[in-house]
Structure 1
Amino acid sequence: MLYVVTGPPAAGKSSWITAHATQGDIVIDLDRIALALAGPNAKPWDHDELLLKVAHRARFAAIDEAVQHRDKTDVYLIHTMPSAKALARYKRLDARVVVVDPGRDVVMQRVKDMRQPGMEQVAARWYAKRRHTGATTGAQASRRW
């Protein structure tokens, strides 16, 4: 099964996966990939443009390979803001889309406390996109499942 876990930055997507994935499952998380590719003492969630470019390429390759094995193991993919094209692909793959959203106030405080400058804009864009498309979040707190 393919699980596409979406939600704003600092919503708890990685925590949701940690609570649901089991040994042998495949987890594709850009933050984890970037950290694995970064040099010693790299800070989580604070990567330069070049590192992120390489990490994105690795992520795309991992997705392409992992979805071929979703009948043998669960694949968890974090995709903060999937485009309509990406959502259509996930639908063709019979993915389960999980939205993790503890609420705008919680997210904005977490982003302020734990993430690099500029992530507030990403979170605001996530909420604006949800509001603009009329999408319902089926919101759930990131720590109560």
Structure 2
Amino acid sequence: MLYVVTGPPAAGKSSWIRSHAKPVDVVIDLDLMALAMAGPGADHHDHDDTLLAIVHAARRAAIAEAERHLDTTDVYLIHTMPSPKARAKYKRLNARIITVDPGEAEVRRRVKAMRQPAMEAVVTRWYSDYRKGGSRPLTRQTYRQW
């Protein structure tokens, strides 16, 4: 089964996955992949363009391979704002879409406390464009103490 976990930055997508995925499941998380490929002491969420290009290529390859194993393995994929094309693909794969959204005020508080200022624009875009375009919050719960 493919679980596509969506939501604004700092919503708790990774925390949701940690509370649901089993050790034998596959987790495709861009931030974790970047951290694994970055040098020691790298920031968890602030990556340069070169690293991001490499990580995005690795993520695409991981998704393509994971799709071949959905009949035997649960795959958890974080995709903050899937495009209509990506959503159609996930629908064809019978994915379960999970939206983690503790609310805009809480997300903005978390981003201000823990992320780069540029992430505020992503939050605005998620709430004004993406969420309005068909995403519905499935959970307003927080999955860890912030």
Asked whether the 8 Å contact 2:34–2:55 carries over to 1, the reply is yes
Asked whether the 8 Å contact 2:99–2:135 carries over to 1, the reply is no
* Deviations 1:46-78, CA, capped at 9 Å, x for gaps: 111111111000000000001111111100000
- In structure 2, the residue matched to 1:8 is 8
Q: CA RMSD in A?
A: 1.3
- In structure 1, the residue matched to 2:107 is 107
The amino acid that maps onto 1:24 is V
TM (normalized to structure 2)? 0.94
- In structure 1, the residue matched to 2:41 is 41
Aligned residues: 144
**In 1, distance between residues paired with 2:91 and 2:133?**
18
TM (normalized to structure 1)? 0.95
CA-CA distance at 1:140 after TM superposition: 2.0
Asked whether the 8 Å contact 2:19–2:143 carries over to 1, the reply is no
Q: Which runs of 5+ in 1 are unaligned?
A: none
Where do 4+ consecutive residues of structure 1 move more than 4 Å? none
**In 2, distance between residues paired with 1:134 and 1:73?**
28
Q: SS at the partner of 1:69?
A: coil
- In structure 2, the residue matched to 1:126 is 126
**In 2, distance between residues paired with 1:101 and 1:132?**
13
CA 47–2 in structure 1, closer or farther in 2 if over 3 Å, else same: same
CA-CA distance at 1:142 after TM superposition: 2.6
1:24 aligns with 2:24: yes
CA-CA distance at 1:99 after TM superposition: 0.2
CA-CA distance at 1:116 after TM superposition: 1.3
**In 2, distance between residues paired with 1:80 and 1:68?**
22
